Amino acid sequence: MKEVHQHTAEILQRLEQESLLKPVKSWLDDTLVSASPRAQFFHHAGFLHLPNFVDTSTCQEMKQFMEEIVNNEWDTQQMDSFGTSAKENTARGDYFLESAARVHFFAEPSALDDKKHLKEEFYENKIAALNKVGHGLHLRKGPFSEYAFSAAIRELMSELGWKDPLLPQSMYIFKQAVVGGAVNSHQDSTFLFTEPRQSCCGLWLALDEATTENGCLWVRPKSHQEAVRRQYERNPARESNPSAPQFVMKELYQHSISWDGDLPGTGNFVDLMEAGFIAVPCQPGDLLVFNGELDHLSLPNKSTAARHTFQLHLIEGKYTTWSPSNWLQYENPSRPFPRLNNGLDQLRDYEVES
Ligand SMILES: O=C(O)CCC(=O)C(=O)O
């Protein structure tokens, strides 16, 4: 794997040198801003790798808490799965739609049999069948909300230029050993669209070591300078036709990114590097921050080591608004997304919907 790591090291070094020479424009209004070196890197490259952002005991606490949630709450009689192919994106159902402020469980497609039941080999270890849990974990008392509304996250977002960060969603991704599927290339703003411009920021926290073998993130540096290509919407046709797909993926303009929503070539390391991606291996506790327009993906986990992560997705509340056609909407439309600047106390009013 030496070439992949060498490739990453060379690109990172070049990006770092370039970023220190370039003035930073605020993404809010294109004015020049003075920024810390790491904010300069983030705005130039579209992502930022922050080693040891949280300590390993916090990672363990999150993993432990998730295990309790899964064991106590996952009703495996009600089975839904999660994949990122074009077909899987639009075929999602009510259980997904209703997960905005809840804790819902999505299995790996390959952990289910033809009848969409959990395969027998997972009966005694059901957590090993999960793809992800979302999207309201940050609303729950415990380590996920404590981290989400911590001073460290608030200060980071402020340093990167967000004025009033709102937190629409969180998720826990398992990327299980052997069955953990690929996450196809995408821009997060496709799913978290804001107007009049994009303002999504993803915070991807490694809870386990993430390597090229177990499906670490691959990012395409500077791709955040390309406009968002697709918008994932609730399907308006559904109102008059209940058998229409629940969601649609709208292409916003013609582009030459042939792997959009898929993997470059056959998805091997060489094809990814030729398309401009670099691998970003992480240690437990490392944080990867990425701009909502940054192209990224992860390959299947064919190793024997799971790769758990906890993700937050934030948007700017002062200068942008949440698109009314986004898939994620609270059932009570007058309920606002929690504001980072209001801290943990506000969660008293945010009882998780059951
Ligand atoms: O963790 C992964 O494999 C992919 C996560 C991702 O793409 C995202 O959170 O947007």
Q: Is residue 52 part of a domain?
A: yes
More confident residue, 52 or 1: 52
Q: Is residue 10 part of a domain?
A: no
Mutation to probe ligand 1, out of 172, 176, 204, 219 (largest number of atoms < 8 A from CB) = 204
Q: In angstroms, rounded to a whole number, what is the distance separating the alpha carbons of residues 202 and 188?
A: 7
Is the CB–ligand 1 distance for residue 311 below 6 Å? yes
CATH code of the domain covering residue 193: 2.60.120.620
Is the CB–ligand 1 distance for residue 176 below 6 Å? no
Q: Is residue 347 part of a domain?
A: no
**If you take atom 7 of ligand 1, which residue's CA is the nearest one?**
297
H/E stretch holding 95: helix 94-97
- Beta bridge partner(s), residue 289: 48, 203
Share of the chain above pLDDT 90, in %: 72
The one-letter code for the residue type at 172 is Y
72 is in which domain, residue-wise? 45-327
Q: Is residue 171 part of a domain?
A: yes
Q: What is the pLDDT of residues 111-127, one digit of tens each?
A: 888 888 888 888 888 89
- Mean pLDDT, the chain, whole residue set: 91
Is the CB–ligand 1 distance for residue 134 below 6 Å? no
Is the CB–ligand 1 distance for residue 173 below 6 Å? yes
What are the Cα distances from residue 198, in Å, to 92, 201, 315, 319, 320?
24, 9, 8, 10, 8
Q: Is residue 58 part of a domain?
A: yes
Cα R_g (the chain), whole angstroms = 19
Q: What is the pLDDT of residues 150-180, one digit of tens each?
A: 999 999 999 999 999 999 999 999 999 988 8
In which residue are the tokens 């299995």 written? 107
Q: Is residue 2 part of a domain?
A: no
Mutation to probe ligand 1, out of 311, 312, 314, 327 (largest number of atoms < 8 A from CB) = 311
CA of 244 to the centre of ligand 1 (A): 28
Handedness of CA 339, 345, 349, 353 (dihedral sign): positive
Q: Does position 354 have pLDDT exceeding 60, yes or no?
A: no
What are the Cα distances from residue 125, in Å, to 81, 117, 212?
17, 15, 25
Look at residue 1 in the predicted model and tell me its pLDDT.
59
More confident residue, 21 or 337: 337
Q: Spell out the residues 6+ positions from residue 354 whose beta carbon is closer than 8 angstroms to its own.
A: 102
Provide the pLDDT confidence category of residue 22 given band limits of 50, 70 and 90. Answer: confident
Q: What is the pLDDT of residues 60-114, one digit of tens each?
A: 999 999 999 999 998 877 677 666 666 665 666 788 888 999 999 999 888 888 8
Helix axes 151-160, 37-45, angle to 10 degrees: 70
Q: What share of the chain is helix, strand, coil (3-state, %, to 5)?
A: 30, 25, 45
Q: Is residue 208 part of a domain?
A: yes
Q: Does position 192 have pLDDT exceeding 80, yes or no?
A: yes
Rounded (5°) CA angle 262-284-180 = 35
Q: What is the pLDDT of residues 230-282, one digit of tens each?
A: 999 988 888 888 888 888 899 999 999 999 999 999 999 999 999 999 999 99
**If you take atom 9 of ligand 1, which residue's CA is the nearest one?**
311
In which residue are the tokens 């790769």 written? 307
How many distinct structural domains can be found in the chain?
1
Q: Does position 350 have pLDDT exceeding 70, yes or no?
A: no
**If you take atom 2 of ligand 1, which residue's CA is the nearest one?**
298
**If you take atom 8 of ligand 1, which residue's CA is the nearest one?**
188
Share of the chain above pLDDT 70, in %: 94
Q: What are the phi and psi torsion angles at 329 (to 5°)?
A: -140, 140
CA of 77 to the centre of ligand 1 (A): 27
Q: Is residue 65 part of a domain?
A: yes
Is the CB–ligand 1 distance for residue 180 below 6 Å? no
DSSP class of 182: P
CA of 268 to the centre of ligand 1 (A): 18
- Beta bridge partner(s), residue 210: 282
Q: Does position 143 have pLDDT exceeding 90, yes or no?
A: yes
